[in-house]
Structure 1
Amino acid sequence: MANKVLAEIGVIGGTGLYAMEELKILKEIKVKTPFGDPSDKIILGTLAGIKVAFLPRHGRKHAMLPGEINQRANMWALKSIGVKTIISASAVGSLREELPPTHFVFPDQFVDQTKGRPSTFFGNGIVGHVPLAEPFCMAISDMMYKEAVKLGIKAHKGGTYCCMEGPGFSTKAESNFHRKMGYSIIGMTMATEAKLAREAG
């Protein structure tokens, strides 16, 4: 898929993260994919000497609802320019008192409650099944958690991300159900993204 490595790491920004201040921007590119257009142009740059690609998940003007995001196009575009590692940031709601606003959480599991979103590159004659028992790269999560702690950021390692359909938030009954199920945080985008990233390899 990748002809030339333009970036080694892809950063996907969620709500409120539409740019990377420390990124030394080199250029912006528009990538065509078999699945349509990504959320926005991909910003290429360097960070600490490493080639990085940044893509705002909802577009820089936050013009897309969670269910409207073309996740397959986003992941395909990043893979096509050489990205092998994805760091994804998301704004989430907390289901635990010990996870108050402004704290960072590095989950190790997710539960997907979305419906109807394209969440695979397979199909149309191509059959494949990827393992998702461990849906995230824990080596990267551990590294980021340790760095966050060094920087004085209130951070938590582990937990389950509940991915809801949206765009409406949960009712009290739904939130109580999620808490009883043991979920830690709740959002609207990450599960589909993680599945596609695993398939892209």
Structure 2
Amino acid sequence: MTVHAIIGGTGLTQLEGLTLSAALNLDTPFGAPSAAILRGNYAGAEVLFLARHGHPHRLAPHRINYRANLWALKEAGAEAVIAVNAVGGIHPDMGTGHFCVPHQLIDYTSGRVNTFYEDDTQAVEHIEFADPYDAGLRAALCAALAAEGCAYSSQGVYGCTQGPRLETAAEIARMQRDGCDLVGMTGMPETGLARELGLPYACLALVVNPAAGLSSTPISMADIEQALRAGMDQVRATLARVLAGA
């Protein structure tokens, strides 16, 4: 069976139901990952879990050591990665509580270290990245969402912004023109780094708010937290179905 790593984002700093066998505090050539990597059994499958923002949630999106996170997961034995992301909805279909398994992304970040090929210690490899997400993992996530009866979209374009502030209405309008369906802050460089390491990678995105300027009321952190609480049971059930069928 494939050993899956789950990277938990905002709202998923721990994986309830995980039968823990080890907590791995790994060092990497790029420093320490966000938190200990938890190895255990979930839905009858071996799984690795990492809290992207640390546990408790403390690391802003631009301060996450993405390279250490991905490197440590591979060192721990990960063979594929499912990333859970809380996002804002841009496309009209992407309302609060809706799930999306994106097929494309646009990177709007700046200043993040986005490659393992940062110095001259090894030959640079220009990875193929036309389709950033793994088709097999995406199909498994979509099948699990359908089986759970979740409202979801089987594709979408994820726009990754710098954060930690939310976007302006004009920025979201630009992203709409660019073709983005979702907005988040952690999709890159995580996705690209997984590709550099040869790790199949897919994103399970939960919409927790309408993006800036697309609602008649301001974005409220209380509303976001409520949407996260409401959606996490479905996230865990979806992950369990994917792992059980791996």
Q: TM-score, normalised by structure 2?
A: 0.77
1:49 CA drift (Å): 2.9
Tell me the equivalent position of 1:192: 189
- Distance across 1 between alignment mates of 2:151 and 2:14: 22
Deviation string 1:130-171 (CA, Å, 9 cap, x unpaired) is 010010001111111111111111111111000001111111
Q: In 2, Cα distance between the equivalents of 1:180 and 1:34?
A: 40
Please give the alpha-carbon distance, in whole angstroms, between the structure 2 residues aligned to 1:22 and 1:155.
24
The corresponding residue for 2:151 is 154
User: Partner amino acid for 2:16?
Assistant: E
Q: Which moved more, 1:48-57 or 1:109-118?
A: 48-57
Counting only pairs closer than 5 Å after superposition, residues 154-193 of structure 1 correspond to structure 2 as 154-193=151-190
Gaps spanning 5+ residues in structure 1: where? 1-6
> CA–CA distance in 2 between the matches of 1:111 and 1:154?
24
What's the offset of the Cα at 1:8? 1.4
Residue in structure 2 matched with residue 138 of structure 1 by the alignment: 135
- 2:62 aligned with 1:93: no
Q: Which residue matches 2:47?
A: 52
RMSD: 1.1
Structure-to-structure mapping, 1:114-125, within 5 angstroms: 114-125=109-120
Structure 1 residue corresponding to 2:77, chosen from 67, 77, 82: 82
User: Which is helix-richer, 1 or 2?
Assistant: 2
Task: Return the match for 1:102 from 79, 97, 100.
Answer: 97
TM-score normalized by structure 1? 0.94
Q: Deviations over 1:32-54 (max 9, x none)?
A: 10111100001110123321000
Q: Which amino acid aligns with 1:115?
A: S
Are 1:42 and 2:37 matched, yes or no? Answer: yes
Count residues with an aligned counterpart.
Answer: 195
Aligned to 1:21: 16
CA–CA distance in structure 2, aligned partners of residues 52 and 13 of structure 1: 13
What is the aligned-residue identity percentage? 37
Q: Residue type of the partner of 1:102?
A: G
Within 1, Cα distance between the matches of 2:69 and 2:92? 34
- Provide the C-alpha distance between the structure 2 equivalents of 1:20 and 1:81, rounded to a whole number of angstroms: 17
User: Which residue does the alignment assign to 1:3?
Assistant: none
3-state DSSP of counterpart to 1:91: strand
User: 5+ residue gaps in structure 2?
Assistant: 199-246
